[in-house]
A and B are shown apart, each in its own frame.
Chain A
Amino acid sequence: MKKSLLIVFVMFVLFVNNGAQVMNEEFRKKPPEPLKEIPFSIGKPFEKTLKNGLKVVIFENKRLPIVNFRLGFRFGQINDPPDSIGLTAATVEMLNQGTKKRTSKQFAEEVESIGASIAASSSSDNIVISGSCLSIYEEAVLELMADMVLNPIFPENELNLYKQNTIEALKFQRSQPSFLAEEQVARLIYGNHPYSIVGPKESDVEKLKRERLIEFHKKVLIPNNAVFIVVGDVDTKNTLKKIEKFFGKWQPGEVKVQNFDSPPLRNERTITIVDRKGSAQANIVISNLAIRRNHPDYFPVLVMNQILGAGASSRLFMNLRESKGYTYGAYSNFDMRRLAGNFEASAEVRTAVTADALKEFFYELDRIRNEKVSEKELQDAKNYLTGVFPIRLETQEGLTSLITQQQLFDLPKDYLQTYRDKVNAVTAEDVSRVAKQYILPDKAAIVIVGDAEDLLDQVKAYASKIEIFDTQGRRQNLDDYAKRDEKPLVDVSGKWQLTVEAQGQQLPPLSITLEQKGAEVKGSFESIFGKGEIVSGKVRGRRFIANVNASFQGQNLEFRIDAEVNEDQMKGMISTQMIPTPLQFSGKRER
């Protein structure tokens, strides 16, 4: 008896000391069940319209002693006068750069001295002036916001500084491939509709005049086209009084409804290349016209897009990144504005796999259109959307921007309260229907920013119509690109020894053996790391371009050679997905 107790004791000690590995911890094998749901409801804000037409929306939230303000106007950059693009943005950004009461410096000092922040911005549809502060400073911030809205003087020197800085920013924009892609997408999808304009040109900014801003401000920033939203630790009655005090005398004006041309109907798929020479990557955007923000199909589209490409567990990401490794990320998005909207699927891929990436994109677009989504996929997407919704409401800023959206886009009054129910009501049939209706692969505009010479041959199978622009937005002559292939061709046949430099060090020698037929080149690749095959090699004039599939110590590696040939010498670059900065190399033909 004693002995057996001892054994039990020894076993027990061993058991404990060995810890997790020995213990029977079956519960770890499967993910645990969730706890019970905590019900969650969102109240409704107080709403009132002042005599001058200013709509006031107040949402009391006493959790912490802070408050957020938004003064929104249903007026945006699309309402710029056609001869003065950029006027709305300039007027709005200049509001706090000098008023009848304060210089820009005094304004900044007063805002920051109470720990508050005030900012003004414009988008294509709206102007939003936002403020935030400790609730004890509510009145001070309201006064400051009123001062910038009612009394701006647009000082000449401040306007000049704005112009200088904006022009610097525009130059920087053009170095970004994503901007170049958006510029073309907007033009192709929206045609003569002002959504086609992505921003002012340098010349537009240069001709901005103080008088024009003054006149524009008076006409456009009017209370009867605005909504004032207050969220936070306030007393509704009291706050309403303060808003009346500071904004009550603001004179209403005439709200002009502008009519715009409809976006064009597209009948076929097209390709637009923005020629960014030497680009190691290709930015692909596939787009078509879709729905405006307050469209009844908003929720089915939201759920469908979650399945297709909104996140890092959506189909596009799982296919193009996780399974194929073409890119760091592939996504889809519905850009929904007040009057119209468009669908976009996009990725930055390495140039050599541009056509392969297009193939996978169109495979996924067809699949979501033609095959019903599984119940599990549907449920996962809904869980995600309904789950992250309350996370956005944790902060006052999050709640405020949702209320601002609801107000400015004229969404239903119970938008926030019914959001999760509406997501949950979407069916697999809804998903198929909206996919068919709003994703139109056969009429899509494909925009690719990258090196046009590399892209043309690869992608031409994907559309009958191809056009090319340069990075300044100027149309290029397609024939010029075609002619480059017709120049007298260099002969690259033979065995070449290549010398490659990587980070200042010379790599062990590589060699390629080439066979040329017309402009086509085949061959093999050899090095001490492993061997490979030259695929899709070609010669254009003096240029030799090829993709190499190699196997390095069991690892497959794809890379690209791009070189200029001069008799028995070649000089150029080797690039792979692993190295965004290509490696320089030089080659010598063995004789």
Chain B
Amino acid sequence: MKNLLITLVLVIFSAIISAQGSKMKAKEEFKLRPLEIEYYRLSNGLRVVLNPDNSVPVVSVAVYYDVGSRNERKGRTGFAHLFEHMMFQGSENVRKGEHFQYISKAGGTMNGTTSSERTNYFQTLPARWLPLALWLESDRMRSLAVTQENLDNQRETVKEEKRLRYDNQPYGQVFDLLTSMIYKNFANAHSTIGSMEDLDAATIEDVKEFFRIYYAPNNAVLVISGAFDTQEAKRLIEKYFATIPSQPAPPPVDVSEPEEVALREKIYEDKLAPLPAFIDGWKIPPRNTKDFKALSLAGKLLFDGESSRLYQKLVKGDESVVQIFGFVDERRGPSAIVIGAIPKPGKDIKQIRQQIYDQIKQLSTEGPTSEEMRKLRNQLINDEVRLRQSSLSRALRLGEYALYDDDPFLINKALDELLQIKPEQIRDAVAKYLNTENRAQLNVVPANQK
């Protein structure tokens, strides 16, 4: 906040590109201008992040609430997500469903999402409609219509969503199952969509209380990114948000985990799956730690893109799988790394799994090659630059840094921190967290052909 424009200059003397058959030299200086960011708090505790960028006359407004499935207690699962639905059911001055209509008629787009970590709401509009977005977001923050009718109605919609997106999709339940095998702590282990019994048991009082505790200005972050005048934006934010009363802080969350995964093996019969599949998960340290960062880079080397180790080994070399995939489940607390595959019909699953473990083992002893380190560096820079193009993607990242770390300026340091990770760090982190039998193995079997 003191220094709005710390000049971050990344100087990358890129290596010689030695291409087979043709030799080219590129020795370039690469500079990435830091984003202009202002960060402050209203008197009611609402954190505000402003990121003016006039390249295109478009503005994105995002509101992050510090509530996700991690905040849910036993018997109250699915509340955070149910609430995301409730937030489109109208408030004192905006009728049910009108939020979407207002945004659409202004030529904008909008949505909301829920994860284990947070619930967010966002819209992107032509820049002149900034006041409309602030009016809409502030109205539901201060006066959401929490009525029995809306609750019943949205409870049914959520159930239908669960049936459509999870119960009625091939492999639809697999990630939730694996999550429950990796994490032991209830706060981490249960699914975001929640249980239907818990949703049925929700009373209007429960929901009102949930809203009061978690949808308070002191539990939220407001981000504006795009084409706007900072002074005007501040004036509008004060007008629409400053009088919303703050609330006592929500109860603290305990997301601590033992080292061991909760369950090592499970077989799941999937009625809809056309082919058997498997998916494994490992428990890793929280986001924003050195080991987490090193492991997320290891993940890129293992399963990202056609030159990745597992793609080259299994899809190309052995021709044994239809698909290989992996991702990092990034959390503020203990997190996870996940790798799975759909083998071709008739291929030996055990053997494919062993190939994956062998690749992990190799990475854990020999570490990444210098070619791989060069690839990582170039990919990280390219990704970072592309993520800065749209106002929405900037707003979402700024919202996360403000909410999780109370420091949106991290967006200007994140790339540099990743670039400083050494191959030995990647090797050692893989050795410690991935090359181990402390992992969850889920086998998916088509129910009709077990």
Contacts and interface: CB of A to CB of B under 8 A. Distances in A.
Interface string A45-83: 000000000000000000111100000000000000000
A580 B105 contact: no
Contacts of A384: 104-105, 107
A116 B382 contact: yes
Given A34-B128, A38-B127, A580-B168, A112 B20 contact: no
A261 interface: no
A187 to B, nearest CB: 26
Given A28-B139, A113-B375, A134-B378, A388 B316 contact: no
B24 A35 contact: no
A170 interface: no
B378 A31 contact: no
Interface in A118-169: 133-134, 136-137, 139-140, 143, 161, 164-165, 168
B105 A313 contact: yes
Contact of A35 (B128, B274, B371, B382): B128
B381 A19 contact: no
Contacts of B232: 35
Central interface residue in A32, A105, A161, A172, by most chain B CB within 10 Å: A32
Contact of A101 (B20, B93, B125, B132): B20
A37 interface: yes
Central interface residue in B31, B142, B232, by most chain A CB within 10 Å: B142
Given A102-B20, A106-B20, A134-B378, A390 B57 contact: yes
Contact of A115 (B129, B240, B378): B378
Given A108-B306, A168-B322, A578 B128 contact: no
Nearest to A246: B22
Interface stretch (B73-81, B155-163, B441-449): B155-163
B358 interface: no
A140 B24 contact: yes
B28 A136 contact: yes
A394 B391 contact: yes
B30 A388 contact: no
B107 A394 contact: no
A387 B55 CA distance: 16
B371 A113 contact: yes
A115 B319 contact: no
A155 to B, nearest CB: 12
Contacts of A37: 128
A396 interface: yes
Nearest to A395: B389
A23 B159 CA distance: 39
B156 A578 contact: yes
Nearest to A136: B28
B106 interface: yes
A442 interface: no
A38 B53 CA distance: 13
B56 A114 contact: no
Contact of A112 (B107, B138, B307, B389): B307
B24 A136 contact: no
A393 interface: yes
A63 B385 contact: no
A28 B163 contact: no
Central interface residue in B21, B32, B92, B97, by most chain A CB within 10 Å: B21
B253 interface: no
Contact of A143 (B19, B101, B128, B382): B19
Interface string A394-412: 1110000000000000000
A114 B106 CA distance: 40
Contacts of B416: none
Given A35-B128, A108-B307, A390-B57, A113 B105 contact: no
A40 B128 CA distance: 12
Contacts of B386: 64, 66, 395
A36 B128 CA distance: 6
B126 interface: yes
Given A65-B385, A112-B375, A115-B379, A388 B108 contact: yes
B20 to A, nearest CB: 6
B131 A111 contact: no
Contacts of B127: 35, 38
Given A32-B131, A114-B378, A581 B168 contact: yes
A312 interface: yes
Contact of B245 (A20, A25, A101, A396): A20
Interface of A: 19-20, 23, 25, 27-40, 63-66, 101-102, 104-106, 108-116, 133-134, 136-137, 139-140, 143, 161, 164-165, 168, 172, 175, 311-313, 322, 328, 380, 383-391, 393-396, 577-581
Q: 9 closest pairs, A vs B, by CB?
A: A387-B107, A115-B378, A115-B382, A38-B57, A19-B245, A32-B131, A108-B306, A101-B21, A136-B28
